[in-house]
Amino acid sequence: MSKAFARFHFHNRALTLLVPLAWITFLGAGTHVAAQSAPRPEALIKWRQSAFQVIAWNSGRIKSALASGDAQEVRTASTALAGVANSGLASLFPAHTAQGKGWRDTTARPEIFSDPEKFRALTLEFARESSELARLAAGTDQPAITGQFAKLAKACKSCHDKFRQTD
């Protein structure tokens, strides 16, 4: 068998296998996207409650690590916090989730849904402040890191005051 024929045969055989595989992948991805385009309200509420639990956990880790001087823990928790903060939190609050239960009843105030632009702006401010904390935490300027954590806490509080129900 000549090299040219062997190369032609290999490429045709590879295409015969790859084309159906590509179509299956394409169609599967489309089905996956379509299935995820309309998650149930309960799922969205669970996801946002979980995201905010991770935020609370990492905020507590940062606070404790700042008090103890554990710079590595501050870096790790700040990076995790920034990741969640920059994940598009506002998208977890579509109108059909104004009421309902995820892991527990939602604590979202109606104002999230009546003033979504203000809510989105506050989540973006939180994302910016958390990114800046992660950036600073990679360095050694302890007063700057502590000051940035205070700014982050203020961003959290401003959103909670306007958009979160309290007991």
Domain coverage including residue 9: 1-37
Output the pLDDT for position 167. Answer: 65
Output the pLDDT for position 19. Answer: 42
Q: Name the residue among 91, 95, 93, 63 with its Cα closest to residue 77.
A: 63
Output the pLDDT for position 38. Answer: 76
Instruction: Please list the rounded mean pLDDT of every run of 10 residues in the chain (167 residues).
Output: 54 45 46 62 95 96 97 98 96 93 93 95 97 98 98 94 85
Number of structural domains in the chain: 2
Q: Name the residue among 37, 51, 41 with its Cα closest to residue 113.
A: 41
Q: What pTM does this model have? A: 0.75
Contact yes or no for 84/129 (Cβ under 8 A)? no
**Pair 24, 56 in one domain:** no
**Pair 83, 48 in one domain:** yes
Output the pLDDT for position 10. Answer: 47
**Pair 31, 67 in one domain:** no
